[in-house]
Amino acid sequence: MKVLLFGATGMIGQGVLRECLLDPQVAQVLSVGRRPTGQTHPKLREILHGDLQDYSAIEGELSGLDACCFCLGVTSAGLSEEAYQRITLDATLAAATPLARLNPQMAFCYISGAGADSTERGRVMWARVKGRTENALLRLPFKAVYLFRPGAIRPLHGITSRTKLYRILYALLNPLFPLLKRIAPDSFTTTEQLGRAMLHAARDGAPKTVLETADINRL
Ligand SMILES: NC(=O)c1ccc[n+]([C@@H]2O[C@H](COP(=O)([O-])OP(=O)(O)OC[C@H]3O[C@@H](n4cnc5c(N)ncnc54)[C@H](OP(=O)(O)O)[C@@H]3O)[C@@H](O)[C@H]2O)c1
């Protein structure tokens, strides 16, 4: 399987990259991002591309791919709906639209979030925008689209978030994770479980299109 990865420098993307490099069924990983991952591996190839809204300059590199794990994203904190939507909906579609045309056999795995609002009309801004993004992806002619809606994610194997707020939060939560996981197992996952679940869905499919934390942990 050839996997295309967006957001490989982020917390979730680092987890997916790790699982891709460990998985013998992944033959090649192509990472597209504005910064290098800092990793070297025979299976990994990187394209540095800074324009989130236009991939035409690298389209020649974006065919012959079986799966896309789209882990690029930002927190909505401090952003207007327009600004958040530009990085969430617009940037995702700018990548996904040419990918669907170039790779009709591709499975597209999108990192959304627990509470994403499929009605697009709820009161929570980030949830509306994630819901809009999910619905737009479902309209593209991919072989399959999987929408991952994780809740809290424990970063493992030295992985950290690019977002300062999350780094602080996870540092505080880290000692409590084992207890929290025992009390509410369906609310917590790890970067490892999420990475493995995305690869599983991409390769073998999943029982549902929308995968909440409990589904992610079961895959
Ligand atoms: N962390 C959680 O607990 C959690 C839970 C549920 C859902 N999510 C969702 O998962 C997604 C990723 O979260 P994360 O925790 O992995 O975030 P993160 O650690 O902050 O990483 C974000 C990734 O997106 C890239 N990115 C952000 N803005 C960019 C821009 N303007 N241009 C190019 N690349 C950009 C970053 O690249 P650079 O390294 O170049 O900045 C990085 O690779 C987000 O959509 C988030 O809402 C996260």
Tens of pLDDT, residue by residue over 134-155, are 999 999 999 999 999 999 899 9
Q: For the full predicted model, state whether its pTM sits above 0.95.
A: yes
Ligand 1 center to residue 111 CA distance, Å? 9
Which residues, other chains included, contact 8 with Cβ-Cβ below 8 Å and sequence gap of 6+?
A: 14, 16, 17, 31, 33, 37, 46, 71
What's the structural domain count of the chain? 1
Q: Is the pLDDT of residue 173 over 90?
A: no
Q: Is the pLDDT of residue 164 over 90?
A: no
Ligand 1 center to residue 12 CA distance, Å? 7
- Mean pLDDT, the chain, rounded, equals 96
**Structural domain of residue 77, as residue ranges?**
2-218
Q: What is the CATH number of the domain that holds 162?
A: 3.40.50.720
Q: Which atom of ligand 1 is nearest the CA belonging to 14? A: 16
Q: How confident is the model at residue 84 (pLDDT cuts 50, 70, 90)?
A: very high
- pLDDT score recorded for residue 79: 97
Percent of the chain whose predicted confidence (pLDDT) is above 70: 100
Pocket test for ligand 1, best of 4, 5, 12 (most atoms within 8 A of CB): 12
Tens of pLDDT, residue by residue over 17-51, are 999 999 999 999 999 999 999 999 999 999 999 99
Q: Hey, which residues does 95 pair with through a beta bridge?
A: none
